[in-house]
Protein backbone atom coordinates (compact mmCIF):
# COMPACT_ATOMS: atom_id res chain seq x y z
CA UNK A 1 0.00 0.00 0.00
CA UNK A 2 1.41 3.41 -0.92
CA UNK A 3 1.78 6.04 1.80
CA UNK A 4 2.58 9.72 2.07
CA UNK A 5 4.88 11.44 4.54
CA UNK A 6 6.58 14.80 4.94
CA UNK A 7 9.79 13.15 6.16
CA UNK A 8 10.98 9.53 5.95
CA UNK A 9 13.75 8.61 8.40
CA UNK A 10 15.71 5.54 7.28
CA UNK A 11 17.14 3.51 10.19
CA UNK A 12 15.84 2.78 13.69
CA UNK A 13 19.09 3.08 15.64
CA UNK A 14 19.84 5.79 18.19
CA UNK A 15 20.41 8.36 15.43
CA UNK A 16 17.13 7.73 13.58
CA UNK A 17 14.97 7.43 16.70
CA UNK A 18 16.42 10.59 18.29
CA UNK A 19 15.80 12.50 15.04
CA UNK A 20 12.25 11.14 14.85
CA UNK A 21 11.53 12.23 18.43
CA UNK A 22 12.82 15.72 17.71
CA UNK A 23 10.81 16.01 14.46
CA UNK A 24 7.68 14.83 16.30
CA UNK A 25 7.62 18.16 18.16
CA UNK A 26 6.50 19.80 14.90
CA UNK A 27 3.43 19.51 12.66
CA UNK A 28 5.19 17.20 10.23
CA UNK A 29 4.05 13.70 9.32
CA UNK A 30 7.16 11.62 9.93
CA UNK A 31 7.67 7.93 9.22
CA UNK A 32 10.71 5.93 10.37
CA UNK A 33 11.48 2.73 8.45
CA UNK A 34 13.62 -0.06 9.92
CA UNK A 35 14.46 -3.26 8.08
CA UNK A 36 14.68 -5.47 11.17
CA UNK A 37 11.73 -6.64 13.34
CA UNK A 38 12.75 -4.17 16.04
CA UNK A 39 14.52 -0.86 16.49
CA UNK A 40 18.00 -0.60 18.11
CA UNK A 41 19.09 -3.83 16.42
CA UNK A 42 22.15 -2.42 14.58
CA UNK A 43 25.25 -0.77 16.07
CA UNK A 44 23.06 0.76 18.78
CA UNK A 45 22.74 -2.66 20.42
CA UNK A 46 26.48 -3.44 20.69
CA UNK A 47 28.84 -0.71 21.84
CA UNK A 48 30.61 0.50 24.98
CA UNK A 49 27.52 2.37 26.25
CA UNK A 50 29.67 5.29 27.40
CA UNK A 51 28.31 8.83 27.28
CA UNK A 52 31.64 10.45 26.47
CA UNK A 53 32.65 13.78 27.95
CA UNK A 54 33.97 15.04 24.58
CA UNK A 55 37.79 15.37 24.74
CA UNK A 56 38.64 12.82 22.00
CA UNK A 57 37.47 14.45 18.79
CA UNK A 58 39.48 17.26 17.17
CA UNK A 59 38.36 20.81 17.92
CA UNK A 60 35.99 22.16 15.27
CA UNK A 61 34.85 18.72 14.08
CA UNK A 62 31.17 17.76 14.01
CA UNK A 63 32.10 14.86 16.31
CA UNK A 64 33.46 17.24 18.96
CA UNK A 65 30.55 19.66 18.66
CA UNK A 66 27.84 16.98 18.76
CA UNK A 67 29.54 15.01 21.54
CA UNK A 68 29.77 17.90 23.98
CA UNK A 69 26.24 19.14 23.16
CA UNK A 70 24.81 15.59 23.25
CA UNK A 71 26.32 14.88 26.65
CA UNK A 72 24.78 18.08 28.00
CA UNK A 73 21.38 17.25 26.47
CA UNK A 74 21.33 13.78 28.09
CA UNK A 75 21.80 15.48 31.47
CA UNK A 76 18.60 17.45 30.65
CA UNK A 77 16.63 14.59 29.05
CA UNK A 78 17.40 11.92 31.66
CA UNK A 79 14.49 12.74 33.94
CA UNK A 80 12.04 13.76 31.22
CA UNK A 81 12.43 10.50 29.26
CA UNK A 82 13.30 8.30 32.26
CA UNK A 83 16.65 7.32 30.72
CA UNK A 84 18.84 4.69 32.36
CA UNK A 85 22.07 6.68 32.78
CA UNK A 86 24.62 6.93 35.60
CA UNK A 87 27.06 9.85 35.61
CA UNK A 88 30.06 7.87 36.84
CA UNK A 89 32.81 9.95 35.24
CA UNK A 90 35.62 8.43 33.17
CA UNK A 91 39.37 7.98 33.60
CA UNK A 92 41.96 7.79 30.81
CA UNK A 93 44.98 6.22 32.47
CA UNK A 94 48.71 6.54 31.77
CA UNK A 95 51.50 4.13 32.72
CA UNK A 96 54.58 6.05 31.52
CA UNK A 97 55.79 9.54 30.65
CA UNK A 98 54.80 9.27 26.97
CA UNK A 99 51.24 8.34 27.93
CA UNK A 100 51.14 11.15 30.50
CA UNK A 101 52.01 13.59 27.72
CA UNK A 102 48.97 12.26 25.80
CA UNK A 103 46.77 12.98 28.84
CA UNK A 104 47.85 16.63 28.68
CA UNK A 105 47.01 16.73 24.95
CA UNK A 106 43.55 15.31 25.72
CA UNK A 107 43.07 17.82 28.53
CA UNK A 108 43.89 20.75 26.23
CA UNK A 109 41.67 19.36 23.45
CA UNK A 110 38.81 18.77 25.86
CA UNK A 111 39.07 22.31 27.23
CA UNK A 112 39.09 23.68 23.67
CA UNK A 113 35.99 21.56 22.91
CA UNK A 114 34.20 23.05 25.94
CA UNK A 115 34.25 19.98 28.23
CA UNK A 116 33.78 21.18 31.83
CA UNK A 117 35.79 20.23 34.94
CA UNK A 118 38.50 18.03 33.37
CA UNK A 119 41.46 17.35 35.67
CA UNK A 120 44.72 15.37 35.69
CA UNK A 121 44.96 13.08 38.72
CA UNK A 122 48.11 11.48 40.16
CA UNK A 123 48.37 7.73 40.78
CA UNK A 124 47.36 8.00 44.46
CA UNK A 125 44.08 9.73 43.65
CA UNK A 126 43.38 7.33 40.79
CA UNK A 127 43.79 4.31 43.10
CA UNK A 128 41.65 5.89 45.81
CA UNK A 129 38.84 6.17 43.25
CA UNK A 130 39.44 2.79 41.57
CA UNK A 131 41.41 0.48 43.94
CA UNK A 132 41.48 -2.48 41.51
CA UNK A 133 43.45 -0.69 38.80
CA UNK A 134 46.99 -1.79 37.94
CA UNK A 135 49.73 -0.35 40.15
CA UNK A 136 51.59 0.57 36.93
CA UNK A 137 49.10 3.40 36.45
CA UNK A 138 50.70 6.69 37.51
CA UNK A 139 48.23 9.35 36.31
CA UNK A 140 44.84 9.79 34.66
CA UNK A 141 42.59 12.30 32.98
CA UNK A 142 39.38 12.58 35.02
CA UNK A 143 36.20 13.62 33.17
CA UNK A 144 33.31 13.94 35.65
CA UNK A 145 30.65 14.62 33.00
CA UNK A 146 31.08 11.18 31.35
CA UNK A 147 28.60 8.44 32.14
CA UNK A 148 27.32 4.97 31.36
CA UNK A 149 23.93 4.08 29.92
CA UNK A 150 21.57 1.35 28.78
CA UNK A 151 22.06 2.06 25.05
CA UNK A 152 19.03 0.34 23.49
CA UNK A 153 16.90 1.82 26.27
CA UNK A 154 17.81 5.30 25.04
CA UNK A 155 16.68 4.52 21.47
CA UNK A 156 13.50 2.85 22.75
CA UNK A 157 12.73 5.92 24.89
CA UNK A 158 13.13 8.24 21.88
CA UNK A 159 10.91 5.92 19.80
CA UNK A 160 8.19 5.75 22.46
CA UNK A 161 8.17 9.53 22.80
CA UNK A 162 7.99 9.97 19.01
CA UNK A 163 5.10 7.49 18.58
CA UNK A 164 3.25 9.09 21.49
CA UNK A 165 3.44 12.33 19.50
CA UNK A 166 2.06 10.87 16.30
CA UNK A 167 5.17 9.68 14.43
CA UNK A 168 4.98 6.28 12.71
CA UNK A 169 7.57 3.52 12.99
CA UNK A 170 7.41 0.77 10.38
CA UNK A 171 9.48 -2.26 11.29
CA UNK A 172 10.46 -5.04 8.87
CA UNK A 173 10.25 -2.33 6.25
CA UNK A 174 13.47 -2.37 4.22
CA UNK A 175 14.30 0.49 1.93
CA UNK A 176 15.24 -0.87 -1.50
CA UNK A 177 15.52 2.36 -3.49
CA UNK A 178 15.00 6.12 -3.47
CA UNK A 179 13.18 7.89 -6.32
CA UNK A 180 14.18 11.32 -7.55
CA UNK A 181 12.94 13.61 -10.31
CA UNK A 182 15.27 16.28 -11.68
CA UNK A 183 17.61 15.69 -8.71
CA UNK A 184 14.81 16.08 -6.14
CA UNK A 185 13.55 13.35 -3.77
CA UNK A 186 10.02 12.15 -4.57
CA UNK A 187 9.60 8.77 -2.87
CA UNK A 188 11.20 5.91 -0.97
CA UNK A 189 10.77 2.35 -2.26
CA UNK A 190 10.38 -0.23 0.52
CA UNK A 191 9.47 -3.86 0.94
CA UNK A 192 6.16 -2.60 2.40
CA UNK A 193 5.35 -0.35 -0.58
CA UNK A 194 6.12 3.14 -1.81
CA UNK A 195 6.28 6.15 0.55
CA UNK A 196 5.92 9.47 -1.29
CA UNK A 197 7.88 12.16 0.51
CA UNK A 198 9.68 15.47 0.10
CA UNK A 199 12.52 14.73 2.55
CA UNK A 200 14.54 11.66 3.46
CA UNK A 201 16.85 11.46 6.48
CA UNK A 202 19.59 8.87 5.96
CA UNK A 203 20.36 7.31 9.37
CA UNK A 204 21.19 3.90 7.92
CA UNK A 205 24.27 3.15 10.10
CA UNK A 206 26.78 0.89 8.33
CA UNK A 207 24.48 0.90 5.27
CA UNK A 208 24.30 4.71 5.04
CA UNK A 209 26.64 5.01 2.03
CA UNK A 210 24.47 2.56 0.06
CA UNK A 211 21.31 4.43 1.02
CA UNK A 212 22.97 7.67 -0.11
CA UNK A 213 24.04 6.10 -3.42
CA UNK A 214 20.45 5.04 -4.18
CA UNK A 215 19.49 8.70 -4.10
CA UNK A 216 22.50 9.66 -6.24
CA UNK A 217 24.92 11.03 -3.63
CA UNK A 218 28.27 9.19 -3.70
CA UNK A 219 30.21 11.78 -1.73
CA UNK A 220 31.30 9.39 1.07
CA UNK A 221 31.79 5.70 1.76
CA UNK A 222 31.59 3.63 4.94
CA UNK A 223 34.32 1.28 6.21
CA UNK A 224 32.82 -1.22 8.69
CA UNK A 225 35.10 -1.68 11.73
CA UNK A 226 34.29 -4.43 14.19
CA UNK A 227 34.79 -4.30 17.98
CA UNK A 228 34.43 -7.36 20.25
CA UNK A 229 33.47 -7.55 23.94
CA UNK A 230 33.19 -9.90 26.94
CA UNK A 231 30.51 -9.29 29.60
CA UNK A 232 30.86 -10.57 33.18
CA UNK A 233 28.22 -11.67 35.66
CA UNK A 234 27.40 -8.96 38.18
CA UNK A 235 27.91 -11.21 41.17
CA UNK A 236 31.47 -12.09 40.08
CA UNK A 237 33.37 -9.14 41.45
CA UNK A 238 31.11 -6.29 42.47
CA UNK A 239 32.85 -2.91 42.31
CA UNK A 240 35.70 -4.22 40.15
CA UNK A 241 35.45 -0.77 38.60
CA UNK A 242 33.00 2.02 39.46
CA UNK A 243 32.96 3.75 36.09
CA UNK A 244 34.78 3.89 32.75
CA UNK A 245 38.51 3.12 32.51
CA UNK A 246 40.19 3.91 29.17
CA UNK A 247 43.82 3.35 28.24
CA UNK A 248 45.52 6.22 26.40
CA UNK A 249 43.95 6.18 22.90
CA UNK A 250 45.51 5.04 19.62
CA UNK A 251 45.00 6.74 16.24
CA UNK A 252 42.13 4.40 15.26
CA UNK A 253 40.36 3.73 18.55
CA UNK A 254 39.85 4.83 22.14
CA UNK A 255 41.39 1.49 23.08
CA UNK A 256 40.27 -1.52 25.10
CA UNK A 257 38.42 -0.32 28.17
CA UNK A 258 37.14 -1.85 31.38
CA UNK A 259 33.73 -0.51 32.21
CA UNK A 260 30.80 -0.90 34.59
CA UNK A 261 27.24 -1.20 33.30
CA UNK A 262 24.21 0.57 34.75
CA UNK A 263 23.05 -2.78 36.18
CA UNK A 264 26.24 -3.71 38.05
CA UNK A 265 28.05 -5.89 35.48
CA UNK A 266 31.54 -5.23 34.14
CA UNK A 267 32.60 -5.67 30.51
CA UNK A 268 35.86 -5.39 28.60
CA UNK A 269 36.52 -4.45 24.96
CA UNK A 270 36.42 -3.40 22.18
CA UNK A 271 39.22 -4.14 19.73
CA UNK A 272 39.15 -2.53 16.28
CA UNK A 273 39.25 -4.58 13.09
CA UNK A 274 38.32 -3.38 9.57
CA UNK A 275 35.99 -5.92 7.91
CA UNK A 276 34.22 -6.35 4.56
CA UNK A 277 30.95 -8.02 5.60
CA UNK A 278 28.71 -5.38 7.22
CA UNK A 279 26.79 -8.04 9.14
CA UNK A 280 29.81 -9.92 10.53
CA UNK A 281 29.27 -9.71 14.28
CA UNK A 282 30.99 -13.04 15.03
CA UNK A 283 33.41 -13.07 17.94
CA UNK A 284 36.79 -14.75 17.43
CA UNK A 285 39.30 -16.50 19.69
CA UNK A 286 42.00 -14.07 18.55
CA UNK A 287 39.72 -11.11 19.34
CA UNK A 288 38.96 -12.44 22.82
CA UNK A 289 42.69 -12.93 23.53
CA UNK A 290 43.40 -9.39 22.34
CA UNK A 291 40.76 -7.70 24.49
CA UNK A 292 41.60 -9.72 27.60
CA UNK A 293 45.26 -8.88 27.28
CA UNK A 294 44.37 -5.17 26.82
CA UNK A 295 41.96 -5.20 29.77
CA UNK A 296 44.50 -6.85 32.12
CA UNK A 297 46.89 -3.93 31.59
CA UNK A 298 44.25 -1.75 33.26
CA UNK A 299 42.74 -4.20 35.78
CA UNK A 300 44.94 -7.26 36.43
CA UNK A 301 42.20 -9.38 38.06
CA UNK A 302 39.70 -9.76 35.21
CA UNK A 303 37.20 -12.47 36.41
CA UNK A 304 37.33 -14.66 33.29
CA UNK A 305 35.48 -17.53 35.00
CA UNK A 306 32.45 -15.27 35.34
CA UNK A 307 32.10 -14.37 31.64
CA UNK A 308 28.43 -14.70 30.65
CA UNK A 309 28.47 -13.64 27.02
CA UNK A 310 30.59 -12.25 24.20
CA UNK A 311 29.36 -9.94 21.46
CA UNK A 312 30.57 -7.58 18.74
CA UNK A 313 29.42 -4.28 17.24
CA UNK A 314 30.33 -2.60 13.95
CA UNK A 315 31.44 1.02 13.67
CA UNK A 316 30.37 2.97 10.56
CA UNK A 317 33.65 4.75 9.78
CA UNK A 318 33.16 7.51 7.20
CA UNK A 319 35.72 8.24 4.45
CA UNK A 320 35.38 11.93 5.44
CA UNK A 321 36.87 11.28 8.90
CA UNK A 322 33.91 12.99 10.58
CA UNK A 323 30.15 12.61 10.97
CA UNK A 324 28.36 13.37 7.67
CA UNK A 325 25.55 15.70 8.73
CA UNK A 326 23.22 18.00 6.84
CA UNK A 327 21.60 18.50 3.43
CA UNK A 328 23.19 16.56 0.59
CA UNK A 329 24.97 18.84 -1.87
CA UNK A 330 23.91 16.56 -4.75
CA UNK A 331 20.32 15.54 -4.04
CA UNK A 332 17.58 17.98 -3.14
CA UNK A 333 15.64 16.68 -0.13
CA UNK A 334 18.24 14.17 1.12
CA UNK A 335 19.52 14.85 4.64
CA UNK A 336 22.55 12.88 5.82
CA UNK A 337 23.00 11.60 9.38
CA UNK A 338 25.73 9.18 8.33
CA UNK A 339 29.18 7.98 9.33
CA UNK A 340 27.96 7.96 12.93
CA UNK A 341 30.72 6.03 14.64
CA UNK A 342 31.71 6.73 18.25
CA UNK A 343 30.70 9.04 19.91
CA UNK A 344 27.40 8.52 18.06
CA UNK A 345 25.45 7.30 21.05
CA UNK A 346 26.47 10.37 23.05
CA UNK A 347 25.91 12.73 20.14
CA UNK A 348 22.42 11.48 19.16
CA UNK A 349 20.28 14.16 20.89
CA UNK A 350 22.50 16.93 19.49
CA UNK A 351 22.50 15.39 16.00
CA UNK A 352 18.70 15.19 16.27
CA UNK A 353 18.37 18.88 17.13
CA UNK A 354 20.76 19.83 14.33
CA UNK A 355 18.98 17.75 11.65
CA UNK A 356 15.46 18.66 12.85
CA UNK A 357 16.50 22.33 12.88
CA UNK A 358 17.45 22.14 9.19
CA UNK A 359 14.20 20.40 8.23
CA UNK A 360 11.99 22.69 10.29
CA UNK A 361 13.58 25.72 8.63
CA UNK A 362 13.21 24.23 5.15
CA UNK A 363 9.61 23.10 5.69
CA UNK A 364 8.54 26.11 7.80
CA UNK A 365 6.87 23.62 10.16
CA UNK A 366 5.32 24.96 13.37
CA UNK A 367 5.53 23.45 16.85
CA UNK A 368 2.63 21.13 17.67
CA UNK A 369 0.25 22.52 20.27
CA UNK A 370 -0.47 19.03 21.64
CA UNK A 371 3.18 17.89 21.99
CA UNK A 372 3.78 15.66 25.02
CA UNK A 373 7.23 15.45 26.59
CA UNK A 374 8.16 12.18 28.30
CA UNK A 375 6.73 8.73 27.66
CA UNK A 376 4.33 6.35 29.41
CA UNK A 377 5.53 5.15 32.84
CA UNK A 378 6.73 1.55 33.11
CA UNK A 379 6.59 0.03 36.59
CA UNK A 380 9.44 -2.31 37.57
CA UNK A 381 8.90 -4.52 40.60
CA UNK A 382 12.57 -4.72 41.61
CA UNK A 383 12.97 -0.95 42.01
CA UNK A 384 9.95 -0.47 44.32
CA UNK A 385 9.74 -0.47 48.10
CA UNK A 386 7.92 -3.46 49.67
CA UNK A 387 4.81 -1.24 50.03
CA UNK A 388 5.03 -0.17 46.41
CA UNK A 389 5.45 -3.78 45.30
CA UNK A 390 2.37 -4.81 47.24
CA UNK A 391 0.28 -2.05 45.64
CA UNK A 392 1.54 -2.90 42.14
CA UNK A 393 0.69 -6.59 42.54
CA UNK A 394 -2.71 -5.77 44.07
CA UNK A 395 -3.47 -3.71 40.92
CA UNK A 396 -2.28 -6.39 38.49
CA UNK A 397 -1.35 -9.87 39.73
CA UNK A 398 0.94 -10.40 36.71
CA UNK A 399 3.49 -8.15 38.48
CA UNK A 400 3.64 -10.85 41.16
CA UNK A 401 4.81 -13.58 38.73
CA UNK A 402 8.58 -13.49 38.26
CA UNK A 403 9.55 -14.80 34.80
CA UNK A 404 13.27 -13.92 34.69
CA UNK A 405 14.74 -15.02 37.99
CA UNK A 406 18.26 -13.70 37.35
CA UNK A 407 17.01 -10.11 36.94
CA UNK A 408 13.65 -10.34 38.81
CA UNK A 409 11.49 -9.39 35.82
CA UNK A 410 7.78 -10.08 36.10
CA UNK A 411 5.11 -11.12 33.62
CA UNK A 412 3.50 -7.68 34.10
CA UNK A 413 6.68 -5.94 32.91
CA UNK A 414 6.94 -8.21 29.86
CA UNK A 415 3.30 -7.69 28.88
CA UNK A 416 3.75 -3.93 29.30
CA UNK A 417 6.89 -4.03 27.08
CA UNK A 418 4.90 -5.75 24.32
CA UNK A 419 1.96 -3.31 24.40
CA UNK A 420 3.84 -0.03 24.83
CA UNK A 421 4.16 2.39 21.87
CA UNK A 422 6.60 0.67 19.44
CA UNK A 423 6.42 -2.39 21.72
CA UNK A 424 8.52 -5.56 21.68
CA UNK A 425 7.83 -8.18 19.01
CA UNK A 426 10.81 -10.47 19.54
CA UNK A 427 12.53 -12.19 22.45
CA UNK A 428 15.44 -9.76 22.23
CA UNK A 429 12.97 -6.90 22.00
CA UNK A 430 11.57 -7.97 25.38
CA UNK A 431 15.13 -8.29 26.71
CA UNK A 432 16.10 -4.77 25.61
CA UNK A 433 12.97 -3.23 27.16
CA UNK A 434 12.90 -5.16 30.46
CA UNK A 435 16.28 -6.94 31.01
CA UNK A 436 14.56 -10.38 30.98
CA UNK A 437 17.28 -12.73 29.70
CA UNK A 438 20.17 -10.36 30.47
CA UNK A 439 21.33 -12.20 33.58
CA UNK A 440 23.66 -15.05 34.41
CA UNK A 441 21.65 -17.75 32.60
CA UNK A 442 21.24 -15.51 29.51
CA UNK A 443 17.61 -16.52 29.02
CA UNK A 444 18.16 -20.27 29.52
CA UNK A 445 15.28 -20.47 32.02
CA UNK A 446 12.98 -17.59 31.06
CA UNK A 447 13.43 -17.79 27.27
CA UNK A 448 10.70 -20.42 26.61
CA UNK A 449 8.21 -18.59 28.87
CA UNK A 450 8.90 -15.30 27.11
CA UNK A 451 8.22 -16.99 23.76
CA UNK A 452 4.83 -18.15 25.10
CA UNK A 453 3.96 -14.70 26.44
CA UNK A 454 4.91 -13.07 23.11
CA UNK A 455 2.78 -15.59 21.19
CA UNK A 456 -0.19 -15.08 23.51
CA UNK A 457 -0.02 -11.27 23.56
CA UNK A 458 0.70 -10.82 19.84
CA UNK A 459 -1.86 -13.53 18.97
CA UNK A 460 0.59 -15.45 16.82
CA UNK A 461 1.68 -19.10 16.86
CA UNK A 462 4.68 -19.97 19.03
CA UNK A 463 6.47 -21.05 15.86
CA UNK A 464 6.21 -17.46 14.52
CA UNK A 465 8.07 -15.94 17.48
CA UNK A 466 11.58 -14.83 16.58
CA UNK A 467 14.66 -14.20 18.66
CA UNK A 468 15.80 -11.05 16.92
CA UNK A 469 16.29 -10.93 13.17
CA UNK A 470 13.79 -11.55 10.39
CA UNK A 471 14.40 -15.31 10.10
CA UNK A 472 15.43 -16.13 13.68
CA UNK A 473 12.48 -18.43 14.44
CA UNK A 474 12.98 -20.27 17.71
CA UNK A 475 10.59 -23.26 17.54
CA UNK A 476 9.34 -25.65 14.94
CA UNK A 477 5.87 -26.73 15.99
CA UNK A 478 4.87 -29.58 13.75
CA UNK A 479 1.14 -29.23 14.60
CA UNK A 480 1.10 -25.51 13.92
CA UNK A 481 3.23 -25.82 10.79
CA UNK A 482 0.96 -28.52 9.35
CA UNK A 483 -2.27 -26.79 10.38
CA UNK A 484 -2.94 -29.56 12.93
CA UNK A 485 -2.67 -32.41 10.38
CA UNK A 486 0.73 -33.76 11.45
C1 LIG B 1 32.54 -1.21 19.23
C2 LIG B 1 31.78 0.07 19.35
C3 LIG B 1 31.85 0.85 20.51
C4 LIG B 1 31.16 2.04 20.62
N5 LIG B 1 31.14 2.72 21.80
C6 LIG B 1 30.46 3.89 21.90
C7 LIG B 1 30.40 4.57 23.13
O8 LIG B 1 30.85 4.08 24.16
N9 LIG B 1 29.79 5.78 23.16
C10 LIG B 1 29.23 6.35 22.06
O11 LIG B 1 28.77 7.46 22.14
N12 LIG B 1 29.23 5.69 20.88
C13 LIG B 1 29.81 4.47 20.79
N14 LIG B 1 29.80 3.77 19.62
C15 LIG B 1 29.12 4.34 18.47
C16 LIG B 1 27.62 4.16 18.55
O17 LIG B 1 27.28 2.86 18.96
C18 LIG B 1 27.06 4.44 17.16
O19 LIG B 1 27.54 5.69 16.72
C20 LIG B 1 25.56 4.45 17.12
O21 LIG B 1 24.99 3.33 17.73
C22 LIG B 1 25.12 4.53 15.66
O23 LIG B 1 23.71 4.57 15.65
P24 LIG B 1 22.97 4.67 14.27
O25 LIG B 1 21.54 4.84 14.59
O26 LIG B 1 23.62 5.71 13.43
O27 LIG B 1 23.25 3.27 13.55
P28 LIG B 1 22.57 1.86 13.84
O29 LIG B 1 22.30 1.64 15.26
O30 LIG B 1 23.38 0.83 13.14
O31 LIG B 1 21.16 2.01 13.13
C32 LIG B 1 21.03 2.00 11.72
C33 LIG B 1 19.76 1.25 11.41
O34 LIG B 1 19.47 1.35 10.03
C35 LIG B 1 18.84 0.16 9.63
N36 LIG B 1 18.93 0.06 8.17
C37 LIG B 1 20.05 -0.07 7.42
N38 LIG B 1 19.74 -0.16 6.12
C39 LIG B 1 18.38 -0.09 6.05
C40 LIG B 1 17.47 -0.14 4.96
N41 LIG B 1 17.86 -0.33 3.70
N42 LIG B 1 16.15 -0.06 5.23
C43 LIG B 1 15.71 0.13 6.51
N44 LIG B 1 16.55 0.16 7.58
C45 LIG B 1 17.88 0.07 7.34
C46 LIG B 1 19.62 -0.90 10.37
O47 LIG B 1 18.92 -2.13 10.48
C48 LIG B 1 19.85 -0.24 11.72
O49 LIG B 1 18.89 -0.58 12.67
C50 LIG B 1 30.42 2.52 19.51
C51 LIG B 1 30.32 1.74 18.36
C52 LIG B 1 30.95 0.50 18.30
C53 LIG B 1 30.76 -0.37 17.12
Q: What is the pLDDT along the chain (486 residues), one digit of tens a residue?
A: 789 999 999 999 999 999 999 999 999 999 999 999 999 999 999 999 999 999 999 999 999 999 999 999 999 999 999 999 999 999 999 999 999 999 999 999 999 999 999 999 999 999 999 999 999 999 999 999 999 999 999 999 999 999 999 999 999 999 999 999 999 999 999 999 999 999 999 999 999 999 999 999 999 999 999 999 999 998 877 789 999 999 999 776 789 999 999 999 999 999 999 999 999 999 999 999 999 999 999 999 998 889 999 999 999 999 999 999 999 999 999 999 999 999 999 999 999 999 999 999 999 999 999 999 999 999 999 999 999 999 999 999 999 999 999 999 999 999 999 999 999 999 999 999 999 999 888 998 999 999 999 999 999 999 999 999 988 998 766 565 454 443
The secondary structure element, H or E, covering residue 161 is: helix 151-164
Q: What b-and-e string marks burial along 228-252, b requiring 16 or more CB atoms within 10 Å of the CB?
A: bbbbbbbebbeebbbbbbbbbbeee
Q: Where are the domains of the chain?
A: 1-84+145-221+319-372, 381-481
Query: 443: phi > 0 → left, psi -120 to 50 → alpha, else beta; which?
Result: left
Q: Whose CA is nearest to atom 4 of ligand 1?
A: 47
In contact, 34 and 173? CB cutoff 8 Å:
yes
- Catalytic annotation present for 104: no
- Can you tell me which atom of ligand 1 is nearest the CA of 211? 41
CB atoms within 10 A of CB 286: 10
In the set 29, 52, 127, 263, the catalytic residue is 52
Q: Whose CA is nearest to atom 3 of ligand 1?
A: 47
pTM: 0.96
CB atoms within 10 A of CB 401: 13
CATH dotted code for 1-84+145-221+319-372: 3.50.50.60
Using the mean position of ligand 1's atoms as its centre, give its distance from the Cα of residue 121 in Å: 33
Q: How far apart are CA 104 and CA 90, in angstroms?
A: 15
In angstroms, what CA-CA distances link 298 with 236, 256, 468? 18, 9, 34
Amino acid sequence: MDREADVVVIGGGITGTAILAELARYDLHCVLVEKEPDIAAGTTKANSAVLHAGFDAPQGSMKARMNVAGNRLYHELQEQLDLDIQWTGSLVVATDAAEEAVLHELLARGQANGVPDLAIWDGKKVHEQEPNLSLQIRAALWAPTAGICWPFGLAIAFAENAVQNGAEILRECEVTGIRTEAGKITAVETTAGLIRTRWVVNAGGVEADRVSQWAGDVSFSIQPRKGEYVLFDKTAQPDLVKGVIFPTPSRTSKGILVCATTHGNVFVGPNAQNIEDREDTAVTAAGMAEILSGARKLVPKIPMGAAITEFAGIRAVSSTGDFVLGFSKNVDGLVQAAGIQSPGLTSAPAIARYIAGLLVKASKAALRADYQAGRPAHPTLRTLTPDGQEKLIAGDSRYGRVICRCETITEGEIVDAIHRPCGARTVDGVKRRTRAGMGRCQGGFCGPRIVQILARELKIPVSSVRKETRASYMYYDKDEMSGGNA
